[in-house]
């Protein structure tokens, strides 16, 4: 898999550990990948929501920066797990929840991937339709199919495309940002700022949640890096790319909504391409489609591995054949495209709200996963046991499941998803949503208290980065390293 031609060679690995002999690359590639994944239209729409909730545009920009800075920290901490362990993100959950118990967060993650892939295919399909003149439904299917092709080819192509998409995103967003501030009276909407604290906290949670949703993806995109890659390097390259890309795109969206209001909301693609002259409409539509493409591929790539991880827990399979891997990708693509075509009206918007509701279930998983990796097992795992229900991690881990349940339950009174659910405490906070903070803190602390005396790092656990069966043999043990 060496050389530029290897970008188009179909990836062999799936849920199995990547041996050291196949590790390659530099953590700087994580910057371009996550910058591209954030510099896209959905991030701009999320930024617009910070103004929609009633926050002054200047304070909305502050919330965009602060929320991404906060949410990006746990997101980037997951990135260091990839080089250390060499396995997809969600299969690591078996070490915390048990081989069967991990199916609980995995099912929720699969639903999240399908929903985000469907909504991304709708936006991308609209852009394809604008470029080609084809019906939107055909555009959605074509966009989903091309995303599936990239996911089938796999890791190398995704990273190479991320670099190209990052360069394109910089050019497009520089142009659009200049057009926005030179053709609209941005100064007027930023004047006379006043702080609405509940609205600020709600906007903060919206932008932080954007980063937290990437948690199940992150190690998938770093697991081929050499195991000697430092925790700090993986963290900072990922953190820099994801925060900078999201802050830029969300700030653009917040300002666009502030100056345009209804002309932007619900017509995001049309408004953005309308900022340029008529002869640039098609190039801008194409740029929007390509900009959304990176994260759409990541959705299907992570979705197939999460689905495979769920099902193989009960079949005890360690790896997938190439045919099985392609089949899983196509299943996820077909399901996502179907949801996109059938639900690109009110249903799809409601489904996206449901996905936001799922965040309350994902934040406790993220806390438990990070506490286990950095504080309990200190980066050391036995991968033979991760694939074996009768191994040291067992079928179910009751302390982890209880900590997870506590993390979910503590959020209920504080939750606020408009149109879906509002906890009884949220109105007293002016609608501010701080539930995710409680979910992170309570579940992480409960898990640490329950497990700190049960695991002795270096005695109960060890690092093995080769597949336990059918692999190339275990690599030398990797020493742990502290988090940044």
Percent of the chain scoring above 70 in pLDDT: 87
- pLDDT on residue 463: 47
Confidence of residue 58 (pLDDT cuts 50, 70, 90): very high
8 Å CB contact between 393 and 94: yes
The encoded tokens of residue 24 equal 């390659």
The beta strands (E) that lie in 116-176 are given as: none
Q: Average pLDDT in the 365-382 region? A: 89
Range among 66-70, 173-177, 421-425 rated most confident? 66-70
8 Å CB contact between 65 and 205: no
Task: Give me the count of residues in the chain.
Answer: 484
pTM, entire model: 0.81
Q: In this model, does residue 181 exceed pLDDT 60?
A: yes
**CA distances, 163 to each of 31, 166, 238 (Å):** 9, 5, 13
- pLDDT on residue 262: 67
Instruction: Lowest mean pLDDT of 241-245, 302-306, 331-335, name the range.
Output: 302-306
Q: 328: burial class by Cβ within 10 Å (0-12, 13-18, 19+)? A: buried
The string of pLDDT tens digits covering residues 314-327 is: 777 777 778 888 88
Confidence of residue 239 (pLDDT cuts 50, 70, 90): very high
DSSP 17: P
pLDDT, the chain, mean: 80
Q: In this model, does residue 466 exceed pLDDT 70?
A: no
How many Å apart are CA 304 and CA 463, to the nearest integer? 25
DSSP alpha helices (H): ranges in 372-430?
383-386, 398-409
- For 27-189+196-451, which CATH superfamily applies? Hydantoin permease (1.10.4160.10)
SS3 of the chain: helix, strand, coil, percent, to 5? 70, 0, 30
Domain extent listing, the chain: 27-189+196-451
Instruction: Lowest mean pLDDT of 134-138, 256-260, 450-454, 458-462, name the range.
Output: 458-462
- pLDDT on residue 481: 38
């Amino acid at each position: 898999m060496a050389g530029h031609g290897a970008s188009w060679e179909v990836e062999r690995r799936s849920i199995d550990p990547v041996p050291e002999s196949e590790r390659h690359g530099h953590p700087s590639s994580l910057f371009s990948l996550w910058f591209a994944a954030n510099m896209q239209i959905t991030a701009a729409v999320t930024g617009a929501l910070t103004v929609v909730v009633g926050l002054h545009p200047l304070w909305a920009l502050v919330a965009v920066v602060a929320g991404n800075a906060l949410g990006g920290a746990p997101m980037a901490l997951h990135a260091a797990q990839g080089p250390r362990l060499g396995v997809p993100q969600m299969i690591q959950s078996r070490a915390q929840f048990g081989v069967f118990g991990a199916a609980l967060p995995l099912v929720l993650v699969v639903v999240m991937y399908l929903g985000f892939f469907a909504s991304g295919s709708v936006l991308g399909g609209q852009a394809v339709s604008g470029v080609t003149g084809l019906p939107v439904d055909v555009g959605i299917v074509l966009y989903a199919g091309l995303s599936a092709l990239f996911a089938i080819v796999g890791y190398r192509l995704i990273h190479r495309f991320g670099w190209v998409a990052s360069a394109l995103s910089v050019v497009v967003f520089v142009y659009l940002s200049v057009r926005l501030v030179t053709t609209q009276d941005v100064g007027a909407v930023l004047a006379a700022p006043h702080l609405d604290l509940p609205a600020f906290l709600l906007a903060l949670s919206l932008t932080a949640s954007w980063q937290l949703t990437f948690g199940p993806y992150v190690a998938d995109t770093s697991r081929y890096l050499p195991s000697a890659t430092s925790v700090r390097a993986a963290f900072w390259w990922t953190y820099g790319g994801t925060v900078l890309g999201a802050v830029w795109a969300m700030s653009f969206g917040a300002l666009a909504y502030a100056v345009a209001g209804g002309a932007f909301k619900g017509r995001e693609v049309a408004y953005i391409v309308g900022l340029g002259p008529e002869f640039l409409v098609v190039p801008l539509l194409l740029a929007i489609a390509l900009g959304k493409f990176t994260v759409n591929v990541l959705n299907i790539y992570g979705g197939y591995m999460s689905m495979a991880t769920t099902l193989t827990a009960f079949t005890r399979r360690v790896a997938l054949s190439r045919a099985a891997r392609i089949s899983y990708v196509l299943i996820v693509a077909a399901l996502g495209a179907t949801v996109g075509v059938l639900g690109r009206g009110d249903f799809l918007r409601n489904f996206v709200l449901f996905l936001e509701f799922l965040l309350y279930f994902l934040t406790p998983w993220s806390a438990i996963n990070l506490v286990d990796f950095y504080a309990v097992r200190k980066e050391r795992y036995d991968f033979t046991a991760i694939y074996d229900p009768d191994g040291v991690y067992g079928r179910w881990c009751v302390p982890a499941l209880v900590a997870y349940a506590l993390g979910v339950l503590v959020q209920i009174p504080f939750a606020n998803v408009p149109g879906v659910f509002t906890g009884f405490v949220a109105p007293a906070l002016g609608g501010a949503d701080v539930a995710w903070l409680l979910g992170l803190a309570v579940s992480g602390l409960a898990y640490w208290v329950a497990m700190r005396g049960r695991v002795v790092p270096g005695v109960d656990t060890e690092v093995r980065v080769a597949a336990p069966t059918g692999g190339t043999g275990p690599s030398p043990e990797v020493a742990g390293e502290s988090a940044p």
